[in-house]
Structure 1
Amino acid sequence: MSGREIYIEVMAIGQALRVAAIDAETGEELVFQVPRNTPRQEIDALARAKVEWKLSRNADNEKRPDTGSGRGIRV
């Protein structure tokens, strides 16, 4: 999975950086924040790790029976 292409957008917001990472193949997107002085190499590595984690989590969820969204109270 490490050879996947991902798109990364970094935007400064105050003393933080907002990072959006999108997997090119699936379109899965995630957003996180890091301190403004974080090196770009670390941001890229973290974004890749987070995208891979999310894709593996989604693959695991496809194997489980549907349990609903997990939000709210089922009455």
Structure 2
Amino acid sequence: MSRDPRPGEVYLEFRPVGQQVKVSAIDAATGIEVSVFGPTSASQEDLKRIAVRKLQRRIEQEKGSGREPDSNLY
């Protein structure tokens, strides 16, 4: 079952790495991905908020540079 991504839709992945958690945030529409690390003691909401902010900033940087993200990845 496939569907078109909605604007603003973000996929999040939380992966423990030792005493840290790696959070990956992927914009569904563009495929842009960023990662952040935080301590395992941090709340998921805090880590999610940081990852989404970083993703939003990266998307704005891509728009400002005039570069279009690769849409031919798949």
Normalised to the residue count of structure 1, the TM-score between the two structures is 0.74
Mapped contact 2:23–2:48 kept (Cα < 8 A): no
Superposition TM-score, scaled by structure 2 size: 0.75
Q: Which amino acid aligns with 1:31?
A: S
Give unpaired runs (5+ residues) of structure 2.
1-6, 68-74
- Asked which structure has the greater CA Rg, the reply is 1
Q: 1:31 aligns with which of 10, 29, 35?
A: 35
The residue correspondences of 1:1-75 to structure 2 (distance < 5 A) are 4-62=8-66
**Which amino acid is the alignment partner of residue 11 of structure 2?**
Y
Uncovered stretches (5+) of structure 1, i.e. residues with no partner = 64-75
Percent identity between the aligned chains?
A: 26
CA deviation string 1:40-75 (max 9, x = no partner): 111111111011000001111117xxxxxxxxxxxx
Structure 1 segments of 4 or more deviating over 4 A?
none
